[in-house]
Amino acid sequence: MCGIIGYIGGKKTTDVLLEGLYALEYRGYDSAGVAICDNKDIEIIKSVGRVSLLEEKINKESKIKSNYGIAHTRWATNGEANLTNAHPHKIGKVTLVHNGIIENSDLLKEKLIKEGYKFNSDTDSEVVAALLDKYLKDNDVLKAINLLIKDLKGSYALGIMIDNDNKLYALRKDSPLLLGIGEKENFLASDITAIIKHTNKYILLEPKEIAVLEEDKYEIFKDGNKIEKEVLISDSKGIDNSKNGYSHHMMKEIMEEPIVLKRLIDRFSDEKERKNLDLSNYKEIDIVACGSAMYAGLVGQNLFEEYAGIKTTVYPASEYRYKKKIYNQKTLVILVSQSGETADTIAAMREAIELNVDTLAIVNNPDSTIAREAGKIILTNAGVEIAVATTKAYILQVCVFAMMAFTTGKNKGLIKEDFSLFNEVPNKLKLVLEKQDEYKELAKKIYKKESCFFIGRGIDYALCMEGSLKLKEVSYLHSEAYQAGELKHGTISLVEEGMPVICIISDKELKDKSISNLKETEARGSLGIIVTTEDLDDFDNYLKIVVPSSSKYTDSMLIVPALQLLSYYVALNRGCDIDKPRNLAKSVTVE
């Protein structure tokens, strides 16, 4: 989603800003822009589309030599993705970039229009610029910003320049923003990866704090007083933008799955480490997350209830945060997030913490808000994911759930097998990934279709949800996931001649039931496709994907990668922008 970088120092400002924007590209955006200043004039250059287009424009149009500036990648929220709505925005003396959503911007805009302000864009961000400009008329900068903070409702991270002032200002609420500290240069950024090439020292800004950056010093103020803050050191290696010879990050990241999975399983093969996975103290679990992370949670729910004897409910974070919570003394809230910056998941986590319930986060980004704030964390350590569609991070989330259910069930005396059964999964996963030709062939049979279904029961339904999401997000082929037995209660009316219905079968007990449901769709003309494990495969007359058998705790980790590859090849055949699907962002930092 939107990204911010700001720089003040001796280097060529546009170089630093562009590098930062390139590093933020993976988050998803639809326009980009910079504002630079030479201590006198401010020059704003924006473009719709990729940062490379902005770079071309800067090379052609930029006239000033600057030592400070701010830059932004925008993922449209208020107002369409066009040049006028792209950031930075300038009104009066104020130039700014903004991440987040100002919820009372319509009201503020109305008042400002009455006071004579004119607006060019449809954005809420321009309203912030106008409001600050208004307060600057009678106040010094810090007072004006404090008045601004009082008026704004919603979420924001702001990087601000004021005419003839030669400083950068930064403030935030609910959207992340940090201050990077260098030698005779300082930075601001929404994500450490934007500046890690220059410095690993940073300070996290908290709501109501205002950072003032100059070339050789920085100051932070809260409620009008200067405060000292801890300087943190990041061990982020930055974004490895290389594709390692693959044509897409998505493929590269899928192919990394066996390695990162092995690393995770090896870590928890140590009994001491495994204690962190034991949830036997809890009677009830709420799993809260968004998108694929929530679907990993659905797998977790099935495993917890089946093998660890813990009642588990899965909620989308956007619903959970506004629902009445019913906790007992032994409830655990598990948050799941690759980025650790998903706005709804953060808000749900903070609510749970405030209500004094135990929280545990399964999170990939160690520098993220969720990793910092959750009661306990389990890092998946999948490494950075660049493709918008999550693949390796999802598999590791599922693996953590499987290991948790297994460890808890074992400690409760419900499971006889040994943890070592996890060790064989990475090698079996390699076999799944080797069958590229089969996925390509199947993709050829599907890619021209208009719509398709994924059906399954129990844990297989959870896998259907992820398979279906992956397919639609990267290939734009309409797809629905359904509990196999539920289809005939209405939705089967959508089944048409030739429509692919992909039936997932890993649960032996439910195999015959799911097959009957698949047959019901075939009787109405569907193209039945089966995804199953070797031990259950007796499907001679079907198009099918067969993965190696492993165990009821680990089958999911072999089935979903096959579906990820199928989606990849369908998207490739349909000519889609696989790593950056339309309308999507990697890190969803607004509600």
Q: 61 burial class (0-12, 13-18, 19+ CB within 10 angstroms)?
A: exposed
Least separation in angstroms between residue 580's CB and ligand M6R is 11
Phi, psi of 560 (to 5 degrees): -65, -40
**Cα angle: 203, vertex 209, 214; to 5 degrees:** 60
Reply yes or no on whether 325 is catalytic: no
# residues near ligand M6R by CB under 6 A: 16
Residue 378 in contact with ligand M6R, rule: CB under 6 A: no
Specify the 3-state DSSP secondary structure of 90. Answer: strand
**Is it true that the peptide bond before 366 is cis, omega within 30 degrees of 0?**
no
Phi, psi of 470 (to 5 degrees): -60, -45
Residue 588 in contact with ligand M6R, rule: CB under 6 A: yes
Least separation in angstroms between residue 385's CB and ligand M6R is 9
Residue 339 in contact with ligand M6R, rule: CB under 6 A: yes
* DSSP string across 324-375: PP---TTEEEEEEESSS--HHHHHHHHHHHHTT-EEEEEES-TTSHHHHHSS
Query: Which one of the spans 114-122, 191-199, 335-343, 494-502 is the region binding ligand M6R (CB under 6 A)?
Result: 335-343
Reply yes or no on whether 222 is catalytic: no
Given the complex with ligand M6R, which of 147 and 379 has the nearer CB atom? 379
Residue 292 in contact with ligand M6R, rule: CB under 6 A: yes
Q: Which of 257, 327, 255 is nearest to 288 (CA)?
A: 327
Query: Which one of the spans 146-154, 332-340, 495-503, 568-576 is the region binding ligand M6R (CB under 6 A)?
Result: 332-340
Least separation in angstroms between residue 453's CB and ligand M6R is 19
What sign results for the dihedral spanned by CA atoms 295, 297, 298, 303? Answer: positive
Which listed residue (2, 290, 503, 576) is catalytic?
2
Which listed residue (252, 511, 580, 586) is catalytic?
586
Residue 290's contacts (CB-CB under 8 Å, 6 or more residues apart) are: 316, 317, 318, 337, 342, 344, 345, 588
**Which of 158, 260, 388, 399 forms a contact with ligand M6R (CB under 6 A)?**
388
Given the complex with ligand M6R, which of 363 and 487 has the nearer CB atom? 363
**Which of 345, 369, 407, 564 forms a contact with ligand M6R (CB under 6 A)?**
345
Residue 567 in contact with ligand M6R, rule: CB under 6 A: no
Residue 374 in contact with ligand M6R, rule: CB under 6 A: no
Given the complex with ligand M6R, which of 28 and 426 has the nearer CB atom? 28
Pattern of binders to ligand M6R over 246-285, x per CB under 6 A? ----------------------------------------
CA distances from 293 to 102, 279, 368, 422 (A): 27, 20, 16, 21
416-475: which residues touch ligand M6R (CB under 6 A)?
473
Question: Where along the sequence are the contacts to ligand M6R (CB under 6 A)?
Answer: 290-293, 337-339, 342, 345, 388-390, 473, 584, 587-588
Residues annotated catalytic, as ranges:
2, 586
